[in-house]
Amino acid sequence: MTYFDAAAAAPLHPVARQALLAALDDGWADSGKLYSQARRARQLLDAARATTAEILRVRPDELTFTSGGTEAAHSAVLGGLAGRRRAGERLVHSAIEHSAVLYAASDAGVPVAVDRLGRLDLDAWREAVKGPGVALAALISASHEVGTVQPVAEAAEACAAAGVPLYVDAAQSVGRIPVPDGWSLLTASARKWGGPAGVGLLVIRKGARWRSRYPDGERETCRDLPAMVAAAAALRAVTAEQAAEAARLAPLVDKIRRVVAATVPDVEVVGDPDDRLPHLVTFSCLYVDGEALLHALDRRGFAVSSGSSCTSSTLRPSHVLEAMGVLSHGNVRVSLHRETTEADVDRFLSELPGVVADLRAEAGVVGL
């Protein structure tokens, strides 16, 4: 099986595996207690936090580990709105935010459109954040579905001018590309960069008004400490490898974009071809059922995503692709990782046209 779904979860980094096994021996105790085993666990927690904070260029006391990216996103949105309730209850966000952010926003959300490349409409954003009752703004750093990098720096300037704090969902960016400054809240997910599942990051900059959902603060001492240690170790490793991996994977993604467009009739390769993540590409095939395409590729030995990245099991149409105004059915998201080879990509590109043609023939669509 060739794994092409690193945007959902990258394979565990070897450094993370080593750190996880080592931390199991010393990190099993409750780090909130006072006895010697607990103090050792606390040292591991503090070291993991310090390492992660240094990489993100924040203070250690601004960073909290959560149980995953979804909890981090919910905490950022709900805590950010609660902390600014006197200012209002509205959340300005791009139309392509992760579903976790949209669910947390609920009826308080004020969506801002994107163009066909998936890039934020900055003029509309500037007007939206100046609106009445806006307490918080949320912008994904790079699209989790099509890879388009968002203008975070410009959006942050608009928020600062309007006196509105900015929350950035950096799940796809951390460990892959730098995240610009100017934000008040940031979240990330360890499994995206090769850390273990079940570890997320919530960063709250000093001075940001934020209220915890828990009376005693975020319950970090109850988390999976060995997994936190492994997540920090993996982040340090992938950050060191970041430039080299981007230089290796970006040409493979360019190749996928180019060859798919040339060899598969009636296909739309989506996202910004220039300002994008180096590891991710999405394309949509007309006259092809998304579920059938997913299963056909799986039978050929390719693990890819189809449909919305967080609802792919239901194969509902992607709200991201719909917001972009591009084809939202029959789509495939291919996301590469440190173990991906050019031979993997070449095999995928050689088999994809036949898979699509067979599915269209089964559906009675011929002559394309």
Per-position DSSP letters for 199-233, written without gaps between them:
-EEEEE-TT-----SSTT---GGGS-HHHHHHHHH
Which residues participate in catalysis according to the annotation? 310
Residue 328 is predicted with a pLDDT of 84
Domain boundaries, the chain: 2-6+242-362, 14-238
User: Per-residue pLDDT tens for 316-363?
Assistant: 678 999 999 998 888 999 999 999 999 999 999 999 999 999 999 998
* Overall pTM surpassing 0.75 (yes/no): yes
pLDDT, residue 160, reads: 97
CATH code given to domain 2-6+242-362: 3.90.1150.10
The pLDDT assigned to 218 comes to 55
CATH architecture of 14-238: 3-Layer(aba) Sandwich (3.40)
Regions of the chain short of the pLDDT cut 50 = 309-313
pLDDT of 221 reads 54
Query: To 10 degrees, the CA torsion angle through 175, 180, 184, 187?
Result: -20
Q: In terms of DSSP H, where are the helices of the chain? A: 14-26, 36-56, 69-83, 99-105, 122-129, 152-162, 225-263, 290-299, 319-324, 342-362
Residue recorded with tokens 């392509």: 96
The pLDDT, as a whole number, for residue 215 is: 58
Q: Does 14-238 match 2-6+242-362 at the fold level?
A: no
